[in-house]
Structures are given as structure tokens and as C-alpha cells.
Amino acid sequence: MTSKTDKPALDLNQDMVRQLAEILNETNLSEIEYEVGNNRIRVARQLVTSPVTTVAAPSVLAPVAVPDQGMPQAIVPQDPADHPGAVKSPMVGNAYMSSAPGVAAFVKVGDSVKIGDSILIIEAMKVMNQIKAKKDGVVKEILVQDGDPIEFDEVLMIIE
């Protein structure tokens, strides 16, 4: 693996980056990539969507009190992004659960992890980036599958 110091300096064409960003805005894309020879520019953004609110029409019937029958209450699923053990993607790319095809996954649900353990890889622009556990705990949920494209700040897994 080569270090950053071994690579030649990138001659960044700021006008091209601006033009690509304008195309993103005009077309509502989340990312765009432009390549000429050995030079490649990739511009990406995270789309923020606002929640849709629905309002129920007022009822003409009077409310009726129903005695509690001891029925279980509906469980509202928690947004994984709000979970204190959420592991979020630091970049846009593709998630890989193991170091190579056919090799066992770094972790599976129920595994214990320690700070610094590799938990998955994100490939971004042909560079494999190991994602490491930021805390000790147990993998409670894995929200991505091997090879899934992922966005910046997307929740990858939950560690409690």
C-alpha cells in the first residue's frame, strides 16, 4: 500500500469541481464522477429529505373510552441514527463485511468487539478504508450487506 507522500500532487481544477457541483444541484443527483486519463474528480453530497406530515381529518363521532385490556402497546421503532451505539459511515462508498471475497466477515450480530477492532471496510475511489470500532461492546444489529453502496453518515451497525 502506498502512502499519501508517494502519490503525485493532484492538480485540482476548481472550475470543473464547481461545474460538477452545479450539475448535481440541477439534476438532483447525490454524486457525480468525471474522469479524463488518470485524473478523476468525484463530487458527492448528502441529500436531506424533510419528513412528510399527514394530518387526519377531524372525526364527526365522539370519542369512546375503551378500557385497557392489558394488550401490548405498539412498539415504535427507534431511528438507528439516534442510537448511542450507531456506527455511521465517514464517507460515500461501498461497504464490505470481510477483507476479501470468501473470507469470514469481520463481525456478525452477537460478536463482542473492542475499541480499534476492524468491523468492516468501505471502498471509496478504489481505496479500501478499514472502519474500526469506536467503543467496546456487542454487535446488536448490522444494517448493511456486503457490497452495498452507502452514503456519508449512513448508519452501518449498532454496537451496545
Helix (H) or strand (E) holding 127: strand 127-132
| Cα dihedral 120→123→124→128 (10° resolution) | 90
pLDDT (tens digit per residue) in 72-95: 544 445 677 778 889 999 999 999
Residue 58 has pLDDT above 70, yes or no: no
CA dist 102 and 111 (Å) reads 19
CA dist 47 and 160 (Å) reads 28
What domains are there in the chain, each with its CATH number?
11-44 (no CATH), 83-159 (2.40.50.100)
Residue 50 has pLDDT above 50, yes or no: no
